[in-house]
Amino acid sequence: MSDEKFTTDIITLTRHVLDEQRKHKEASGDLSILLNAIQLGCKFVATNVRKARLLNLIGLAGGAQNFSGEEQKKLDVISNDIFINALRSSGKVSVMVSEENDEAIFVEEGLRGKYCVVFDPLDGSSNIDAGVNVGTIFGIYRVLKDSVGSVSDVLRPGREMVVAGYCMYGSSANMVISLGDGVNGYTLDNSIGEFILTHPNIQIPPRGKIYSVNEGNAKYWDEACTEYFHSLKFPPEGKSPYSARYIGSMVADVHRTLLYGGIFSYPSDKKSKNGKLRMLYECFPMAFLVEQAGGRATTGTKRVLDVIPESIHSRCPIFLGSKDDVEDVEKIFHKYN
Ligand code: AHM
Ligand code: MG
């Protein structure tokens, strides 16, 4: 094998975080430790998602579908437990908010740290039966000055997050993360157990050709939303209509949007006044990443990252993606509001 083809100087996520840390003289290394806990959680979930898929195959072959269904439901709970334990024992977290827990979780004195983590341990888990990609979404806030950790530390706009990311569990595990200075993508190398930099400095194309929305809700959309999606399907003479792609797993739909451009949306409608997706651990981290990659994210009338959540599980409508596409949404909503 020629020497040039064998890279020995690989950039792992941990190395990238340590490099970032060195740029800030006052940095204590706490964030690096916290991100290691998140990486551990993601590796654990990645391996279990794979096992669950295997169980599913065995289940189908043996007709034990209920058993496999049960196992997969448990995966949500197991994933949640692994994240909570890893985050708590890192000693760097005071408050956790998980999609799986009705209330915020406060870390006991002695183990508390200066960060709060909001996360959805296994988003899109209803898709596991079909082998569709699922993912973990997370955001990190610093606790407010003089706080020992309370709900007000996380009831803050998404723009105040210091880190946002997701890990998508597909044919490989892909971690996409922003420390507030651009977006990088890492792929888990199972043989060494490390996330390796494979997608440096992700930039979302300024305009795309794909729209991604649950069109089954079209009956309930408001006029602005209806007009916008109609405009993509029936463009003026000489322009091509957009293609539709909707996986129904936010991490996978946003991942594609980040790489290829276009628009992903879960709008409000007559049934769901605030859409479906939760601000803290779905909309904010994804909006943060998309903005850091040069795109935009709006509720239709407001920048997503400026919305202040009323409660930890508050929802908001979202349109995110390529800058020009999101600006088209904003223009149409402006006409109606
Ligand atoms: P979940 O947190 O219960 O998994 O739901 C969130 C998921 C997202 O991943 C996805 O974008 C959305 O729900 C799909 O919803 P729908 O089936 O209504 O289109
Ligand atoms: Mg979710």
3-state SS of 217-229 is HHHHCCHHHHHHH
Q: Which atom of ligand 1 is nearest to the CA of 251?
A: 9
- Rounded to the nearest 10 degrees, how much is the dihedral formed by the CA atoms of 214, 121, 137, 177? -150
Identify whether the C-beta of residue 27 lies closer than 8 Å to the C-beta of residue 17: no
Closest listed ligand to the CA of 132: 1
φ, ψ of residue 309 in degrees (nearest 5)? -70, 140
Report whether residue 250 contacts ligand 1, using a CB cutoff of 6 Å.
Answer: yes
What ipTM goes with this model? 0.96
Identify the pLDDT of residue 191.
93
Closest listed ligand to the CA of 281: 2
- Rounded to the nearest 10 degrees, how much is the dihedral formed by the CA atoms of 12, 14, 16, 18? -150
Identify whether the C-beta of residue 192 lies closer than 8 Å to the C-beta of residue 246: no
- Centre of ligand 2 to C-alpha 123, Å, is 4
- pTM, two decimal places: 0.93
Report whether residue 255 contacts ligand 1, using a CB cutoff of 6 Å.
Answer: no
- Centre of ligand 1 to C-alpha 234, Å, is 27
- Centre of ligand 2 to C-alpha 2, Å, is 46
How many C-beta atoms lie closer than 10 Å to residue 243's C-beta? 13
How many C-beta atoms lie closer than 10 Å to residue 258's C-beta? 29
328 vs 29, 165, 214, 241, CA distance in Å? 42, 26, 19, 15
**CB crowding 152-190: b at 16 or more within 10 Å, else e:** ebbbbebeebebbbbbbbbeebbbbbbbeeebbbbebee
**Ligand 1 atom 17, closest CA:** 248
4 pLDDT tier (thresholds 50, 70, 90): low
Q: Indicate the helix (H) or strand (E) that contains 297.
A: strand 296-298
Identify whether the C-beta of residue 106 lies closer than 8 Å to the C-beta of residue 95: yes
Identify the pLDDT of residue 56.
60
Report whether residue 225 contacts ligand 1, using a CB cutoff of 6 Å.
Answer: no
Give 38-80 pLDDT, tens digit per residue.
999 999 999 988 887 676 654 443 334 444 444 445 788 889 9
Give 139-170 pLDDT, tens digit per residue.
999 999 999 899 999 999 999 999 999 999 99
